[in-house]
Structure 1
Amino acid sequence: MSTQVGGIRTSLEKLRDSQVFSAPDKNRSCTAHLETSYEEMSQSEHLLKHLTAALFATVLEDIVLGIRLLGDSNISAKIMTIMIDMETLLKKKFGVNLPPADELDTIGDRSLNSYEFKVVKMNKDRMLLIEVLGATYKDLILSGNYNPIIDKNQEIIERKKYYAKLQTDAVKYKSSIKDLRRYLRQLTIQNKSTIYETDAKLDKLEKSIEDTSLIGETRSRYVTNWERARTEQHIKTVSLDEDVFKDNIHYYRNRFEKELIVHTEIESLVNITIKDTLDEIEDWMDKYDKDSEIIDLKIQVKRNEYLDRLNTRIRLEDTISLHNKQMWDWTEFKRKRAEAQKYISDMTRCAIMVQAWWRGILVRKQLGPFKVSKKKKAKKK
């Protein structure tokens, strides 16, 4: 037990200056943690022996260093990353407030196949791989297990299952929404037809109620006697006419039956035509619904593009206004500085002129330091 702990301590001292364990507090805590948790290593779910764990950690260390060297040596990818983040870097340089970023805003049908998206995804995948391998390396050195890579693999599997479930639910809900729209359209048509028939019946009942009183009074006066006399007259007339025009009655009766048959066939043909027309209308309505959904989707996409461009334009206008203010302040500062320098130069030049004039007067008048001393007369002997 003491030999294994001593070997782990030696490995930690060799890896003290590596990139995975760079913080000094982590190096100090590793040795203390090994002494207290080595007895618990045998109870771990994914436990490796000390030699196997050390070899595996050495391989992971080489892989992590290789990935980092590959990322550092890829100059073209770094340049492309800087060009992609140029707008964000310029905003940070000039002190522009950055809005909260969302990764889903920059993803679309066109950006998925772009070179910039591939470079960003490659960098994020490299950082994720380094993070997972570094955590696995740390657990292998400290406790001899590889739980981080197992947990990350399980997380990726669960995420794929969740995405598949979301796709299935989207397809199911889409078909349900289509059926509900069709059922709603049928109910709307049925309600309109019912309302139309009800309005027609109401109009008919209103007209019949208005005429009921007048018809009742007239019928009570004339109908009874008139029907009796008219019935006797019709019976007599019919009996006389039937005797004379029996053949004509039989002819027209047959003709009426034939016309009734023709009318029935025409009515059935019209019903078939109406059914075909209704089927065609249903097809066109389905096509209209599909086209409407496509047009609504395009309108939404265009609206999102317009809003994005509008926000970008507003941000750029704010940046330009800030830059214009800074340039105006700088121009005003240069103007005032030029005026101050001109004032100082003018005052210096005037002082020089006044000083030269004064010195000229002193020289010409022989005053001050230029005063001529009088010669002393020689004494007579």
Structure 2
Amino acid sequence: METFLADAVCSVLSLTLNELFVLSHGKHFRSNPRIFKEKGTNKPGAKLSAEFLNSNLPATTLDEIKINNEIRKLIEIYTRTIEELQNAGTIQSLLTTINQQITKNAYEKEIIKECSSSSSVLKNLKTRLEEFRFEAEEKLLKASDFLNNLKSDWRIISKVNTLEYELVCKWEQTRFTQAMIVGEKEEKRLEKSFATLALKKENEQRVILDFEAFSTTQLNKYRELIEVWKNRYSKELSELLLSIGEKELKIKELNKRYNNHFEIYCQRKMFILEYLEQKIEQDRLHQLQTQRIESAVKIQAWWRGLMVRRCLGPYKKKTKKGKKGKKGK
């Protein structure tokens, strides 16, 4: 069977080769034979140089050259596959060339997509550049108008400033004369205040002497009070020390009771944690068991349904007994 298939494929490929040879020596090269006479290559289907292909040729001639190259490649592929079939009985070279052509076509499609996307991006960039240029020209016009306005404002402000400077100078001169007059008046007032201060100083010295006498009497009284408060402080301090000792004993007893209660709390906490872990493990096992039961029920239902649909086991169709034939009249 394999030899028959190989012979059939060889016969098909040989027929296609004959048709390709006829096509290659037919209309594509009779229509414009001068194209293929380049630097001593008078054969139709000869490989042309890149300079010749890149020259300014009409679109029809370029299409004919491309078709010629494709036909030549197909002839080479078919001859190789026929030789491989006759020698080894396989078509591995044909499959490899098909895979290569598929990858090449995919790569060409990606390049075409990138080119189209880049052309659209270039158009968008050109439009944006024109918009930016138009906006920049408008901004330059606005800036030039703004500068002209600023220059005119600066001239006006400089004139106003000169006038204000002259007025300020005159105002400062008048202010200085007024300050001199006010200073003379202030000097006379200070002389009068100095005389009054001398009188106040004498009165204050008298008050200081009276205050010193009063302070000595008050100091003696406060010293007596300090002695009384010292005795009272010593008594209250001894009482406080006794109460502090009693409270320290109570604190020690409370610390002992706290430690005992804390140990009991830790034991009960460990018991609760162990109980919770056991409870979680029991819940997990119960959930696993219920899941197994549900899956077993689903499998059994599926198996029963399959047996009913396919009429297996106890669900086989019972053969009905044939009806008795009618007696002839």
TM over 0.5: no
TM interval, shorter chain, is 0.3 to 0.5
Which is bigger in relative contact order (C-alpha 8 A, separation at least 6)? 1
Q: Which structure has the larger Rg over C-alpha atoms?
A: 2
Structure 2 length-normalised TM:
0.39
Structure 1 length-normalised TM:
0.35
